[in-house]
């Protein structure tokens, strides 16, 4: 009985989100890079589950994604995409620190 309970707990925890800023930064660097078109960057971020508010005023478009941490609450991942001179090209990618709610 105890072994089955431990197995159930282990299986349940495998899907839990763990905060890892370095892994998140590496993930973003592999997803969007300066020099690509802003349109392509927004498509890629959206495909990865981010909401990007393209209506925000320059200099940056803010992209956010919520991650659940059971039972500890949720975390918000944020990436700021800055326009290059022409505005149609991604100039810089700023990965903000992951912010988590505390219950």
Locate 77 and state its tokens. Answer: 């991942």
With beta carbons less than 8 A apart as the criterion, state whether 42 and 95 touch.
Answer: no
Whole-structure pTM value: 0.79
Q: What is the tens place of the pLDDT at every residue in 59-78?
A: 789 999 999 877 668 899 99
For the segment 51-61, what is each residue's pLDDT rounded down to a tens digit?
999 887 667 89
Residues 6+ away with beta carbon under 8 Å from 91: 34, 82, 83, 84, 85
Instruction: Kindly indicate whether the domain formed by 18-100 is annotated with CATH number 1.10.357.
Output: no
| CB of 11 closer than 8 Å to CB of 70 | no
Domain boundaries, the chain: 18-100
Within 10 Å of residue 82's Cβ, how many Cβ atoms? 15
Q: What distance in Å separates the CA atoms of residue 24 and residue 65, rounded to the nearest whole number?
A: 12
What pLDDT is recorded for position 73?
A: 81
Closest of 31, 25, 36 to residue 91, by C-alpha: 36
pLDDT under 70: residue ranges of the chain: 1-17, 57-58, 71-72, 103
Helices (H), the chain: 2-13, 21-31, 38-47
């Amino acid at each position: 009985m105890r072994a089955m309970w431990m197995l159930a707990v282990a299986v349940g925890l495998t899907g839990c989100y763990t905060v890892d800023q370095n892994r998140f930064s590496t993930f973003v660097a592999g997803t969007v890079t300066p020099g690509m078109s802003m349109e392509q960057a927004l498509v890629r971020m959206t495909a990865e589950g981010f909401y990007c508010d393209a209506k925000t005023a320059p200099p940056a478009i803010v992209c956010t994604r919520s991650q659940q941490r059971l039972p500890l609450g949720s975390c918000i991942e944020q990436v700021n995409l800055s326009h290059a001179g022409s505005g149609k090209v991604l100039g810089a990618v700023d990965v903000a620190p992951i912010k988590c709610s505390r219950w």
